[in-house]
Amino acid sequence: MRKRVMWGTLILFVAALFAGIGTSNAQDVKRISEESLNKILGELDVIVVDVRLPYDWNDSKLKIKGAKREDPFNVKDWMNKYPKEKTLVFYCA
C-alpha cells in the first residue's frame, strides 16, 4: 500500500513543458491534486522532483519516497538530466 502524500501544493510539469522551462508561461503549468499524484506514484514514466529550499527539506520529516532532490535556484544545472518524455512532478510544499 502506498503512503499518502501529505503536501497540498503539487505542480505537474508535463515533459513537453519541461523542455521549454525557461520560456514557458505560467498558464502552461498544470496543478495536480494529492489524490491524483498518489495514483501515479511509482509509474515508470513519472519522476517526482523535490525543489524545497535546503533548510525546509532538512527540517522535514515528510518526504515522498523516491523523489529526486534538486536545488530550485540552479534549475539550469539539472534540468537537462531528466528525459523529456517523462512526466515530471515538482513539489515545494
What are 11-69's pLDDT values in tens digits?
433 333 344 444 455 556 788 888 998 899 988 999 999 999 988 988 998 888 889 99
Task: Please state which of the ranges 6-10, 22-26, 75-79 shows the lowest mean pLDDT.
Answer: 6-10
Give the CA dihedral 63, 67, 71, 74, nearest 10 degrees.
-160
Q: Which residue has the cell 494529492?
A: 34
**How many angstroms from the chain centroid is the CA of residue 71?**
12
Q: Is residue 4 part of a domain?
A: no
What total number of domains does the chain contain?
Answer: 1
Domain presence at residue 81: yes
For CA atoms 72, 78, 80, 81, the dihedral sign is negative
Give the domain range for residue 47. Answer: 10-91
pTM equals 0.68
* 31 part of a folded domain: yes
Could you tell me if residue 74 is inside a domain?
yes
For residue 2, is it within any domain?
A: no
